[in-house]
Structure 1
Amino acid sequence: MANSSPVQVIAVTGGKGGVGKSNVSINLSLALADLGRKVTLLDADLGLANIDVLLGITAKGNISDVISGDLSLRDILVEGPKGIKIVPAASGTQKMVALNHLEHAGLINAFSELSQDLDVLIVDTAAGISDGVVSFVRAAQEVLVVVTDEPTSITDAYALIKLLNRDYDMYRFRVLANMVRSPEEGRHLFSKLTSVTERFLDVALQYVGSVPYDENVRKAVQRQRPVLEAYPRAKASIAFKQLAQKADSWPLPSTPRGHLEFFVERLVQA
């Protein structure tokens, strides 16, 4: 009965573009695969796909083929490094950015057909706070907010948390500081964020650590390979392994929360 256990769904988000969400999503996926988890990575930046580019893989189809009904999710899955499965997004299609609520719901529900083959779904969201980002984040049970040491990163992360908290009653967020010069810088970034959230919102933020700025990440991106695979002993790779160990111990959902979410039928069964 192993496959009726809940799937852990982690949305990687941050509000601002350029904070390294896709790199975090890819390397966290690989580090979880190293722990023996069956991982699927969804490129949820529906109109500006970049996971396939970052990994140098060619997709046969993508999410737009699923939305149009031409292919199933299984048909478009691509095998990535360390056996992870990737759900590629479309590139440069305006209509994918403007999906309505029903289309998002259809897509989230479509994942149920994959649920036998996975333990963890990582959702790499688009930048910003569009309806699409909100749909995917609400449908996950863990929200990993990626911040960097730029004023706009903290303000955008705050805006995203505020929107999810005020409009959708979400109150639990995990925060990762990316591309930091030192562990202290990461903790300082977290305290900057909590100083605003504690004043204005009723939320619980948990700091899950930091990933150091590492030249090897840039080199890996240029080679279209994840840093964890290209440079397994790099400082960033070690940080991603530590993050995966933490994520692996986060509690799994036990009951449906009464709104649209990934793999809800597994929770009902369980």
Structure 2
Amino acid sequence: MQDQASSLRLLHAQALRAPSFAFLGSSGSGATTLITELAVGLAYAGLRPLVVDCRQGQVLARYLGVPTTATLESQVVSQGGLDEMMTQSRQGVTLVNLFARPDQRALFSAQLWLRLGSEFAALERDAGVLLVDVPSPVLDPVPSAVADNLILILTPDAESLTAAYATIKRLSNTHGRQRFNVLVNRVQHMEQARELFTRLASVASEFLTVSLRWLGFVPRDPAIRRSQALHRPLQEAFANSESSVAFAQLASMLPQWHTAETTHAGTGFMDMLIAASRDWAEQEKGGGQ
């Protein structure tokens, strides 16, 4: 009876927040574009996406065609709360800017942490899914490390395979992550996408104890650049383009990709982000000991 009650409590805790998906890719891999388009596809399907920007530069705001906002790092000074960091696109995508350098997140007071964590938890309960644009783990590994699911972006570019393997190795060896989902971007056809995935899976399985899962691919499409020049998502500007159709199909499948390997079922993303940043700062201070 005790075990059954414990299981019910765990299921209830898991239902309190939406699953998070961190998108990682080498420079120029198109991760931010993928997040933008998947979020729009989810919004069109009525699935209430919450997009979390953990990268510097506010590129997501530009791609979604919304005004820039305050960042998480600015809260140390302004303390205006989540409203200052949040906006919504006309397609129904909620965007929250959680960019802050890891050393700055570690300096948040307990009161600020509690307030922001509580405000963000309310957003998570209302959302269907969290899409997180994360920085390179070399610069800041924390947002990737605390996400429920990791989506690795692979492209035909020469350095993409090397960068993807390095990311897998870092997150596996340093943060214990073992499950990686792979989405192939900017390819000519399915065969090219499958060949890239197979190469990465072969190298990873030879040297690391990790699991890679194929998610799908997005074809190369010049319409994407045209939509970005218009500051409009592809699915709004060029709904019938090849990539637009692919994004819509992938968005419909995205909720089924959730197979979390973390053990933070009842803890919100913001709470995990700040707590892990404090741990990271302590490790850095101690030289990783």
Q: 1:97 to 1:50 in 2, by over 3 A?
A: same
Q: 1:223 to 1:264 in 2, by over 3 A?
A: same
Alignment of 1:22-37 (within 5 A): 22-37=32-47
Q: 1:253 to 1:199 in 2, by over 3 A?
A: closer
Q: Deviations over 1:214-251 (max 9, x none)?
A: 01101001111111111111111111112112212234
Once the 2 structures are TM-superposed, how far is the Cα of residue 89 of structure 1 from its aligned partner?
A: 6.0
Match among 13, 20, 37 for residue 9 of structure 1 = 20
Computing the radius of gyration over CA atoms, which structure comes out larger, 1 or 2? 2
- Separation (CA, whole Å) in 2 of partners of 1:39 and 1:237: 17
Once the 2 structures are TM-superposed, how far is the Cα of residue 260 of structure 1 from its aligned partner?
A: 7.7
- Separation (CA, whole Å) in 2 of partners of 1:122 and 1:67: 24
Once the 2 structures are TM-superposed, how far is the Cα of residue 58 of structure 1 from its aligned partner?
A: 1.4
Q: Deviations over 1:147-169 (max 9, x none)?
A: 11012111111101101111111
Question: Which residue number corresponds to residue 229 of structure 2?
Answer: 222
Once the 2 structures are TM-superposed, how far is the Cα of residue 263 of structure 1 from its aligned partner?
A: 6.7
Match among 45, 48, 65 for residue 38 of structure 1 = 48
Q: Is the 8 A contact 2:51 2:96 kept in 1?
A: yes
Moved more, 206-215 or 256-265: 256-265
1:119 aligns with 2:128: yes
Question: Which residue number corresponds to residue 268 of structure 1?
Answer: none
Question: Which residue number corresponds to residue 84 of structure 1?
Answer: 93
One-letter identity of the residue aligned with 1:38 = R
Q: 1:235 to 1:57 in 2, by over 3 A?
A: same
Q: Is the 8 A contact 1:6 1:252 kept in 2?
A: no
Question: Which residue number corresponds to residue 153 of structure 1?
Answer: 160
One-letter identity of the residue aligned with 1:197 = A
Question: Which residue number corresponds to residue 99 of structure 1?
Answer: 103
1:200 aligns with 2:231: no
Q: 3-state DSSP class of the match of 1:191?
A: helix
Q: 3-state DSSP class of the match of 2:130?
A: strand
- Separation (CA, whole Å) in 1 of partners of 2:85 and 2:137: 26
- Separation (CA, whole Å) in 1 of partners of 2:250 and 2:74: 33
One-letter identity of the residue aligned with 2:254 = A
Q: Is the 8 A contact 1:32 1:39 kept in 2?
A: yes
1:262 aligns with 2:261: no
- Separation (CA, whole Å) in 2 of partners of 1:101 and 1:193: 33
Question: Which residue number corresponds to residue 137 of structure 2?
Answer: 129
Once the 2 structures are TM-superposed, how far is the Cα of residue 74 of structure 1 from its aligned partner?
A: 2.9
- The normalised TM-score by structure 1 is 0.84
Q: Any unmatched runs of 5+ in structure 2?
A: 1-11, 273-289
Aligned residues: CA RMSD: 3.0
Alignment of 1:175-186 (within 5 A): 175-186=182-193
Question: Which residue number corresponds to residue 74 of structure 1?
Answer: 83
Q: Any unmatched runs of 5+ in structure 1?
A: 91-95, 266-270
Once the 2 structures are TM-superposed, how far is the Cα of residue 179 of structure 1 from its aligned partner?
A: 0.6
Once the 2 structures are TM-superposed, how far is the Cα of residue 81 of structure 1 from its aligned partner?
A: 3.4
Once the 2 structures are TM-superposed, how far is the Cα of residue 39 of structure 1 from its aligned partner?
A: 1.1
> Kindly, what percent of the aligned residue pairs are identical?
27
One-letter identity of the residue aligned with 1:83 = G
Q: 3-state DSSP class of the match of 2:67?
A: coil
1:144 aligns with 2:154: no
Q: Is the 8 A contact 2:155 2:187 kept in 1?
A: yes
Q: Is the 8 A contact 1:56 1:225 kept in 2?
A: yes
- Separation (CA, whole Å) in 2 of partners of 1:56 and 1:258: 33
One-letter identity of the residue aligned with 2:67 = T
- Separation (CA, whole Å) in 2 of partners of 1:54 and 1:103: 31
Q: Is the 8 A contact 1:29 1:84 kept in 2?
A: yes
Q: Deviations over 1:149-196 (max 9, x none)?
A: 012111111101101111111111100110111111111110111111
